[in-house]
Homo-oligomer: A and B are copies of this chain.
């Protein structure tokens, strides 16, 4: 009998579920709206629908599914399979593993923090193949991270290791959502970049960004900043440089602490790679020990939008990946 693995990526707006063969290759996937506003029962129903969909469309029986991996935003209790809370989902203390084991009859099911799952996905199926120790950093609205040590996710004592976005890199910096000032996330995330840009446009209405926004500064986003930069707007280019400086500083800190073989960068902000790559790399080089800088590869995520679900599949495969 063949063995298959199911991965489920639970997001605030969509659920992406896929089934993979024993090499981790995705055979079929299914995406559905999470319908987070409709509450726990509807969300669970939607997850079940995606599972049924991929099983039916691949003609794989439940008995052939060796295990399921779930990637979800945290905080979680991965050991007990409980989602403690999600910023974008209206549920609390959801024993998701137990619920899905009951509904599907499939066991075991493993729950994992989404950034950790993504790190594991990149390690086995993406940019990190062949590397034992790496840090995956996702830079989008916020900054999250997953740490792989000796080919496994490093969880830490209470399951929250890898919160690199809340490393403080400038105590006089802007307020972060976590209540502290100058976290990496407050200095270099998409939200931070938008905030910087808004301020710049407020003070400089001659910026091409102002024209692109038709004066509605609340519509500022990465695309507008990139477009203005592309048009030669120095102010927009400087925003990327400033964010890139802090990206470089935060990454350099991680190099000095962890001395990893690889840093993999994912998340929406990577779309602007061409604007920040150079100043970011300069920032890393300037702030990291030579030996840490010269021994690390800085790569972009290779799994792109599939990083969540491929990570969930890696979580499902677990120790099988080590052999």
Contact = CB atoms under 8 A, between A and B. Distances in A.
A287 interface: yes
A163 interface: yes
A292 B158 contact: yes
Size category of the A interface is 35 or more
A161 B147 CA distance: 14
B157 A260 contact: yes
A50 to B, nearest CB: 30
A42 to B, nearest CB: 29
Interface string A254-298: 101111110000000000000000000000001101011011100
A257 B256 CA distance: 13
A155 B287 contact: no
B257 A167 contact: yes
A interface majority secondary structure: loop
A156 interface: yes
A287 B184 CA distance: 13
Interface in A26-68: none
Interface of A: 75, 133, 145, 147, 149-150, 154-164, 166-172, 178, 180, 249, 252-254, 256-261, 286-287, 289, 291-292, 294-296
Given A156-B292, A180-B287, 14 more contacts: A149-B149, A149-B154, A155-B259, A157-B295, A158-B291, A158-B294, A160-B256, A160-B292, A161-B258, A167-B257, A168-B249, A170-B170, A170-B172, A178-B289
12 contacts: A149-B149, A157-B295, A160-B289, A162-B257, A163-B292, A164-B256, A167-B256, A168-B253, A169-B171, A171-B249, A178-B289, A180-B287
